Amino acid sequence: MYTITYSLRGEGQTAELYYKEILSFADKVLAEALEVLQEVIDSYLSYLDTEKLTKSISKEEAILELLILGVLWRVYGGDSQHLDTLPESVMIKLSDLRKNNEALKPGINVIKGVLSTLFLSPDLYDHLKIEEPGKEKLDKLLCWLSATGEFEQEVKRLRIWQRFFEQLTNNQIYNIISEAISLALWFEESSEALIGEYTGNVERFLNEFRPKHYWREDVIFCGRRRVEYHLNMVGAEIMNRAFRKAFTSTSKKLLLLPTCMRIGGSVSCAAVNNGRWFKCRKCIENCQVCQLSKQGEAQGFDVLMVAHGSSISSSSNDDVLFDSDTGVIGVSCVLNLISGGWMLKEMGIPAQCVLLDYCGCKTHWHEEGIPTQIDINKLKCILKDS
């Protein structure tokens, strides 16, 4: 199998070893973070309980948020300081308009591609200069992330950290962000050593194929760094743990698959399309969507396909995607995992996630499209005792 950026199968035929290794690495990440950030995490959770700014989060989620802050600071902190106010404001408004107006999305995508390439597209080789921590620089980073339209859920949570910082001294803020950056550096080095075999083609893709995405709306998405793949891999494991209890307590289960899993794409697929979701008719035996749909019928869970995460969160359609008391198993490629998991939590949907073994959609990754797959044993593990 040709690997575009990542493959959970590594040198093998299944993702079994990957899931064992990510389980172990997530334990290491949480232990490392608690060793240096325990006091900060406890203070932040106490702040959330007092201020009632958001739904309750676990200690593990708070660690993930600080790790995200550190990683994004290291990757995009320098670029974010050079974005002028006018293009920043225009792009944030465009992102909001794109999210809430499906009919305008194609036209906005064209504009977004031009502006992103001109004002946001980060330099692959100029991210070693790490900006000094500070309140103003944090705000610039969050504004830059908002302008991309790719980090909506991450920004929402980091904005709450920003409000937490308002009660602290400049020196305290400096120390916390510095610790997050140090954790991110440790994470980057450790992740390359422990799970790097699964993302070995990311650098090749960035060097050879990223320029082809200039002037396209996905120039930032497809330009994500290797450490961001690792961040989402670990984030998915941490979030599955945090959301597990709520998921298992639901009486119904729904497996949400991306349309890139179907064989033949939109041309050959005979699935029923209601505008927001697709329902498999089980017409191609070797298509994994067909196989999973049959498994769902036998084991009592529903299966739907969606083309994009906006199909789930859209409020412009009165058709309800799933019933209440439903636990959702979301399937996506690595770079959508953290944002997708938090989107479902924001909607009050208990969720678990399964990673695509590799990416291959025609929209972002491959000119002709490669049908993607998941590890069936991982799905069985999530459904067990639920």
pLDDT at 320: 60
Q: What is the pLDDT of residues 261-305, one digit of tens each?
A: 998 776 678 888 877 789 998 888 889 999 999 999 999 999 999
Cα(169)–Cα(73) distance, integer angstroms = 20
Tokens 């995607």 sit on residue:
321
pLDDT at 125: 55
Length of the chain: 386
Against a cut of 0.85, is the pTM above it? yes
Radius of gyration of the chain (CA): 20
Nearest alpha-carbon partner for 43 in 232, 179, 235: 179
Identify the segments of the chain with pLDDT beneath 70.
Answer: 1, 123-129, 266-267, 309-311, 313-320, 386
pLDDT at 128: 56
pLDDT at 317: 44
Q: What is the pLDDT of residues 224-259, one digit of tens each?
A: 999 999 999 999 999 999 999 999 999 999 999 999
Helices within the chain (DSSP H only): 16-51, 59-80, 85-100, 105-115, 135-148, 152-165, 170-194, 202-208, 226-248, 265-268, 288-299, 310-313, 337-346, 376-383
